[in-house]
């Protein structure tokens, strides 16, 4: 592999071989940007097709602004693609197209539900807003690509990011909640403008976890006593996990946000496991999360309602149903059922029957009805591929911080998809979280574009071919024939011996 | 809009969605093989040098690989790989593709020896002008032994003759 030990020009064949080896590097380590472009065209074409389908089904004609919509999405994707070409040329070719497809599909479904008009309660047009937020998300994507020269810079801000994440998480508790928020205090409002800081805290907290665990992983993995087949960590190493646990319980209690607290705790457990390779952390994590959830479920009325709705989703339709029961899950399950295997077709379902949050938290129900199981599986696979690319990036990354960060970001993404999809399909209690990219919600779209940008930046560093050692100036120096026979030419650093001999 | 058109569009949309997923998986597949694809075509056994993992193996590009294969066919009876038979790396094989193989504790060696008796740049194995594989000690502290004899000059290597470096024993194999 390392040909630099061959003294330059000893055999003509060796010199030629090296020359071909170097010359072909550019073409044998393709940066895959053209593949990305083709996939992006495809990823823009699918939502445009869906858009046309909705228009034909609902109005009988192609939507008037189909070109504008297609161009809008295309321009957004194209600008992002150019930024990738410029700032992260070796990045993974699939992440951007997958995210674009999900974002585009979400836009189509939101537009379709906008068209349902008065049939959907509390319906106000959201497509334009969502398109604007997507644009902002792409802008942030480009910003991250441009400003974050190397993901390892983030390592310097380990503890700052912890503080920032905590402030972001705590902030909504100090803002007045409104009736429309349905009990969860997760928004910060400035007039009509509101953001959900938890979405950003997700990324920032991952940076903290990655930086923290990179430093502490050996202490956590090795300094432990074995007890009943489990490795028990020392008390002082256990500190941080207990702090994070208490924190997530506090989010749960004060902001009644089940999803976010589950997400953060799950994220920390996953990253601990990856950093230390100790199964005992998973056991601890599961015990603590079940314990915490059980504690809160019995005390908090808001969470209790959710648990009841999960245990018996159809209870709300019974004649003498309890006052606080919720119909949402039951309605979603029925919409999934009416979709069947291949769905009713875009624009032909009755997804407005999910009266509550059909565009945001329950958008999967709308997709399940109109695209059926077949379409929903494809969407889940697209999410799965995003996570797979993220984990692949973690495997390929060479630095431990990058590995942990990539694992953390992709598991945060995976956990969020699991929490939402599990909640909507009735597998786990429903939590108020948004499906990444798909659901209506500005903060979510913007934050997830940033997440994809950081992942792509890591994958750019990971996939960038290593600097060729043959690029050293050594072969250019003409070697005197004499000393070559005394000193072994490959001994010591290749440059050194030559420097001494000449 | 007629029902038929809508049905076709409905199924067509699902088909396109799945096609996207399948194409994406194909991209992943091709991605898997571009990172070490040339090694696969040139020689099935890839060199396990950790330092070179991110770097493309030698003889990249289809013409070079083809030429090498032709060369390999010409030299039947010549050794094709180097096997570590004893020591902590026992079982490791390195394909011989005409490149120099360096042995030592230095991280950029082809075979990174995890052996207390090895020097950081201990020895190298290379084809000489006639294409004969040769072993040369690079001024190591504890010496390199070909069979039982300590190396003082580069020596031609025969198949199956052990090279000893500290606790590590290496052989050329066909």
Q: 3-state SS of B44-99? A: CCCCCCCCCCCCCCCCCCHHHHHHHHHHHHHCCCCCCEEEEEECCCCCCEEECCCC
Residue B55 has pLDDT above 80, yes or no: no
Strand partners, A231: A226
**A401 Cα distance to chain centroid:** 17
SS3 B165: strand
Highest mean pLDDT among A78-87, A238-247, B75-84, B123-132: A78-87
Name which of A96, A215, A399, A473 is nearest B24 in CA terms.
Answer: A96
A376 min Cα distance to partner chain B (Å)? 10
Q: List b or e across A200-233, with b for residues whose CB sees 16 or more CB atoms inside 10 angstroms.
A: bbbbbbbbbbbbbbbebbeebbeebeeeeeebeb
For residue A432, the model assigns a pLDDT of 74
A115: in domain: yes
Name which of A247, A249, A219, A274 is nearest A412 in CA terms.
Answer: A274
Among B54, B66, B151, the strongest candidate for a mutation testing the A interface, having the largest count of A CBs within 10 A, is B54
Cα–Cα distances in angstroms (integers) from residue A349 to residues A54, A197, A288, in the given order? 10, 34, 42
In a 13 Å sphere around the CA of A139, the CA atoms on its Cβ side amount to 6
Least confident of A403-407, A436-440, B64-68, B107-111: B64-68
Dihedral angle sign, alpha carbons of residues A380, A381, A384, A386: negative
In a 13 Å sphere around the CA of B6, the CA atoms on its Cβ side amount to 20
Reported confidence tier of residue B53, pLDDT bands at 50, 70, 90: very low
A477: in domain: no
Contact B27, A35 (CB under 8 A): yes
> Which residues in chain A (86-145) have CB-CB distances under 8 A to chain B?
93-94, 97-98, 101
Helices B3-42 and A363-396 pack at an angle, to 10 degrees, of 10
Name the residue of chain B whose CA is nearest to A397's CA.
Answer: B54
Task: Flag whether residue A56 sits within 8 Å of chain B, measured between CB atoms.
Answer: yes
Percent of chain B with pLDDT over 70: 74
**Straight-line distance from the first to the last Cα atom of chain A, in angstroms, rounded to the nearest whole number:** 26
**A489 Cα distance to chain centroid:** 50
**Rounded Cα gap, residues A218 and A216, in angstroms:** 6
Report CB contact under 8 Å: B1, A60.
Answer: yes
**Rounded Cα gap, residues A169 and A254, in angstroms:** 11
Contact B101, B123 (CB under 8 A): no
For residue B69, the model assigns a pLDDT of 53
- For chain B, the average pLDDT equals 75
B125 min Cα distance to partner chain A (Å)? 10
Among B15, B27, B135, the strongest candidate for a mutation testing the A interface, having the largest count of A CBs within 10 A, is B27
Residue B118 has pLDDT above 50, yes or no: yes
A438: in domain: yes
User: How crowded is residue A7: how many other Cβ atoms within 10 Å of its Cβ?
Assistant: 20
Task: Flag whether residue A20 sits within 8 Å of chain B, measured between CB atoms.
Answer: yes
DSSP calls for A488-500: -TTSSSHHHHHHH
Task: Flag whether residue A495 sits within 8 Å of chain B, measured between CB atoms.
Answer: no
A8: in domain: no
Name which of A366, A283, A496 is nearest A54 in CA terms.
Answer: A366
* CA dihedral of residues A451, A456, A457, A458 (deg, nearest 10): 90
User: Which H/E stretch holds residue A190?
Assistant: strand A188-190
For residue A412, the model assigns a pLDDT of 93
Long-range CB contact pairs, A229-234, < 8 A, 24+: A230/A279, A230/A280, A230/A283, A231/A278, A231/A280, A232/A280, A233/A280
**Rounded Cα gap, residues A93 and A33, in angstroms:** 6
Helices A66-87 and A442-463 pack at an angle, to 10 degrees, of 40
For residue A416, the model assigns a pLDDT of 92
Name which of A360, A355, A382, A335 is nearest A431 in CA terms.
Answer: A360
Report CB contact under 8 Å: A56, B1.
Answer: yes
Name the residue of chain B whose CA is nearest to A3's CA.
Answer: B100
The boundaries of the domain holding residue A43 are 31-471
Query: What residues in A contact B59, CB-CB < 8 Å?
Result: 17, 20-21
Q: List b or e across B41-53, with b for residues whose CB sees 16 or more CB atoms inside 10 angstroms.
A: ebbeebbbbebbe
A486: in domain: no
> Which residues in chain A (324-383) have CB-CB distances under 8 A to chain B?
342-346, 348, 371-372, 374-375, 378-379, 381-382
Report CB contact under 8 Å: A1, B55.
Answer: yes
Query: What residues in A contact B136, CB-CB < 8 Å?
Result: 488
For residue A328, the model assigns a pLDDT of 79
> pLDDT tens digit string along B16-39?
999 999 999 999 888 776 544 343
Report CB contact under 8 Å: A492, B121.
Answer: yes
Q: What is the mean pLDDT of residues B82-108?
A: 82
Reported confidence tier of residue B102, pLDDT bands at 50, 70, 90: confident
Among A2, A22, A388, the strongest candidate for a mutation testing the B interface, having the largest count of B CBs within 10 A, is A2
Q: Calculate Rg over the CA atoms of chain B.
A: 24
> pLDDT tens digit string along A371-405?
999 999 999 999 999 999 999 999 988 888 999 99
A1: in domain: no
For residue A494, the model assigns a pLDDT of 41
Report CB contact under 8 Å: A465, B55.
Answer: yes
B73 min Cα distance to partner chain A (Å)? 18
For residue A38, the model assigns a pLDDT of 92
For residue A173, the model assigns a pLDDT of 73
For residue A152, the model assigns a pLDDT of 85
Query: What residues in A contact B138, CB-CB < 8 Å?
Result: 488, 490-491
A491: in domain: no
B91 min Cα distance to partner chain A (Å)? 19
B116 min Cα distance to partner chain A (Å)? 18
Domain count for chain A, please give it: 1
pTM strictly above 0.80 = no
Parts of chain A with a pLDDT under 70: 1-30, 118, 120-123, 176-186, 189-193, 223-238, 240-241, 248-249, 252-253, 321-325, 355-358, 466-502
**Rounded Cα gap, residues A75 and B172, in angstroms:** 58
What is the number of CB-based contacts under 8 A between chain A and chain B? 157
A121: in domain: yes
Name which of B113, B77, B92, B60 is nearest B171 in CA terms.
Answer: B92
Q: Calculate Rg over the CA atoms of chain A.
A: 27
Contact B98, B127 (CB under 8 A): yes
Asked if ipTM goes beyond 0.90, one says: no
Name the residue of chain A whose CA is nearest to B153's CA.
Answer: A488
Q: What is the mean pLDDT of residues B74-103?
A: 78
User: How crowded is residue B59: how many other Cβ atoms within 10 Å of its Cβ?
Assistant: 25
A177 min Cα distance to partner chain B (Å)? 40
> Which residues in chain A (445-474) have CB-CB distances under 8 A to chain B?
465-466, 468-469
Contact B168, B84 (CB under 8 A): yes
Q: What is the mean pLDDT of residues B63-73?
A: 52
> pLDDT tens digit string along A468-490?
554 444 444 444 444 434 434 44
Cα–Cα distances in angstroms (integers) from residue A190 to residues A131, A276, B82, in the given order? 21, 42, 69
């Amino acid at each position: 592999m390392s040909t630099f030990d061959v003294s330059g020009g000893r055999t003509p064949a060796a010199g030629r071989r090296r020359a071909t080896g170097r010359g072909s590097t550019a073409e044998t380590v393709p940066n895959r940007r053209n593949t990305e472009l083709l996939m992006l065209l495809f990823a823009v074409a699918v939502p445009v097709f869906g858009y046309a389908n909705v228009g034909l089904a609902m109005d009988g004609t192609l939507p008037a602004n189909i070109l504008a919509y297609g161009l809008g999405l295309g321009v957004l994707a194209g600008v992002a693609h150019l930024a990738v070409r410029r700032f992260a040329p070796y990045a993974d070719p699939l992440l951007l197209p997958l995210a674009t497809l999900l974002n585009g599909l979400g836009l189509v479904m939101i537009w379709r539900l906008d068209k349902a008009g008065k049939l959907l309660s509390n319906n106000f047009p959201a497509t334009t807003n969502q398109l604007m937020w997507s644009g902002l998300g792409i802008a942030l994507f480009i910003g991250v690509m441009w400003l974050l020269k190397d993901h390892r810079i983030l390592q310097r801000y380990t503890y700052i990011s912890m503080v920032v994440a905590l402030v972001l998480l705590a902030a909504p508790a100090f803002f007045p909640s409104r009736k429309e928020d349905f009990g969860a205090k997760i928004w910060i409002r400035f007039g009509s403008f509101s953001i959900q800081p938890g979405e950003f805290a997700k990324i920032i907290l991952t940076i903290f976890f990655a930086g923290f665990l990179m430093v502490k992983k050996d202490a956590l993995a090795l300094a432990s006593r074995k007890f009943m087949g489990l490795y028990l960590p020392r008390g002082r190493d256990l500190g941080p996990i207990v702090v994070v646990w208490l924190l997530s319980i506090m989010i749960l209690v004060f902001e009644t946000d089940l999803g976010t607290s589950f997400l953060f705790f799950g994220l920390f457990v996953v990253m601990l496991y990856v950093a230390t390779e100790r199964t005992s952390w998973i056991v601890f994590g599961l015990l603590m999360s079940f314990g915490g959830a059980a504690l809160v479920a019995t005390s908090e009325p808001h969470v209790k309602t959710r648990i009841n709705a999960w245990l018996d989703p159809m209870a709300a339709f019974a004649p003498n149903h309890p006052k606080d029961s919720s119909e949402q899950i039951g309605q979603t399950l029925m919409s999934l059922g009416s979709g069947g295997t291949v769905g009713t077709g875009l624009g032909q379902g009755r997804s407005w029957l999910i009266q509550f949050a059909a565009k945001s938290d329950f958008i999967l129900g709308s997709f399940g009805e109109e695209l059926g199981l077949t379409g929903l599986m494809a969407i889940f696979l697209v999410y799965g591929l995003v996570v797979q690319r993220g984990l692949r990036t973690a495997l390929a990354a060479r630095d431990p911080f990058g590995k942990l960060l990539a694992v953390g970001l992709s598991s945060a993404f995976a956990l969020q998809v699991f929490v939402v999809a599990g909640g909507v399909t009735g597998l786990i209690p429903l939590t108020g979280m948004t499906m990444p990219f798909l659901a209506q919600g500005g903060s979510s779209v913007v934050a997830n574009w940033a997440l994809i940008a950081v992942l792509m930046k890591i994958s750019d560093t990971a996939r960038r071919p290593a600097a060729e050692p043959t690029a050293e100036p050594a072969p250019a120096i003409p070697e005197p024939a004499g000393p070559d026979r005394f000193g072994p030419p490959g001994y010591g650093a290749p440059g050194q011996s030559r420097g001494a001999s000449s | 809009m007629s029902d038929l058109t809508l049905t076709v569009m409905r199924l067509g949309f699902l088909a396109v969605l799945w096609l996207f997923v399948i194409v994406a998986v194909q991209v992943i597949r091709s991605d898997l093989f571009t990172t070490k694809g040339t090694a696969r075509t040139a020689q099935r056994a890839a060199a396990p040098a950790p330092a070179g993992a991110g770097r493309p193996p030698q003889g990249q590009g289809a013409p070079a690989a083809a030429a090498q294969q032709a060369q390999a066919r010409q030299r039947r009876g010549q050794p094709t790989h180097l096997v570590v038979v004893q020591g902590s790396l026992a079982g490791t094989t390195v394909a011989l593709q005409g490149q120099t193989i360096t042995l030592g504790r230095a991280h950029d060696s082809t075979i990174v020896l995890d052996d207390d008796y090895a020097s950081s740049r201990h020895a190298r194995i290379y084809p000489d002008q006639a294409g004969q594989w040769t072993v040369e000690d690079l001024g190591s502290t504890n010496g390199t032994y070909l069979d039982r004899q300590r190396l003082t000059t580069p020596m031609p290597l025969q198949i199956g003759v052990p090279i000893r470096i500290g606790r590590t024993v290496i052989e050329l194999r066909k």
